[in-house]
Amino acid sequence: MITSIHYKNVTYKVDLSQPLDISIPLRATDENVNAWYIPAPKIEPVTDGDWIGKVSEGASTNFNNIYFNPHGHGTHTECVGHITKEFYSINKTLKQFFFTAELVTINPEKQGDDFVITKNLIKTALQSNPQAIIIRTLPNTEKKRNKQYSHTNWPYISKEAALYIREIGIDHLLIDLPSVDKEKDDGKLVAHKAFWNYPEAPRIEATITEMIFVKNEMPDGNYILNLQIAPFENDASPSKPILYKILKS
């Protein structure tokens, strides 16, 4: 199905029958991607005495409870409420769902014991002025789908890079790591704060999406992003970002 999307007096054509899913599914297994020192998610049937909510156990339906943390168990989208005393809900602050986006591949720069996504790396990689930036980091392997990130000191975005992303007008930041910030930073969260302009003038409608996975065969460049979330009244929600190739006129 070919459709047109309009943004800033430009019309983009996409084929909605050719989605490119860049989310990581949540699974009730120790192989599920994981961060922040928490146990694996659980999906298990409701029980009530001898009754088990599972068709194979004699119930008429499968009736599961799901226990998970959106920040630690897979692809998720968060709003500024992630770092504020005031409550902000991703379900209320994300009001639009289609955006122009650019996918960039970044090889983080080694700085001491860290690997850092710097302003210069972002500035060099970006070739357009999108609403959303999607960062694929190197090395990029299938292991990202089930990596156990706790205590690994993953790469992160520098404060200067986050400021630059904000200053050029990007409202939606997507990355294939558990956080835009350093794993153990004593709670400073400098990249989150720089991107959201917190606490000076918080960008309420801006979002950060973490723990995506972008296959190597998807080329860098411009796409249309459909950022889908579950309607949780929470600072973050599991999400399913979908990319669409932009068709030539």
Domain boundaries, the chain: 2-26+71-247
Summarised one tens digit per residue, pLDDT across range 36-69 is 999 999 999 999 999 999 999 999 999 999 999 9
Distance CA 195, CA 205 (A): 12
pTM: 0.97
Q: Rounded mean pLDDT of 59-82?
A: 98
The pair phi, psi for residue 223, each rounded to 5°, is -140, 170
User: Among residues 161, 107, 136, 119, which one has the least CA distance to residue 223?
Assistant: 136
The CATH class for the domain spanning 2-26+71-247 reads: alpha beta
Residue 150 contacts residue 35 (beta carbons within 8 Å)? yes
Q: How confident is the model at residue 87, as a pLDDT?
A: 98
Summarised one tens digit per residue, pLDDT across range 192-225 is 999 999 999 999 999 999 999 999 999 999 999 9
Residue 217, burial from CB neighbour count under 10 angstroms (0-12, 13-18, 19+) = exposed
Summarised one tens digit per residue, pLDDT across range 90-114 is 999 999 999 999 999 999 999 999 9
Residue 196, burial from CB neighbour count under 10 angstroms (0-12, 13-18, 19+) = buried
Q: How confident is the model at residue 9, as a pLDDT?
A: 84
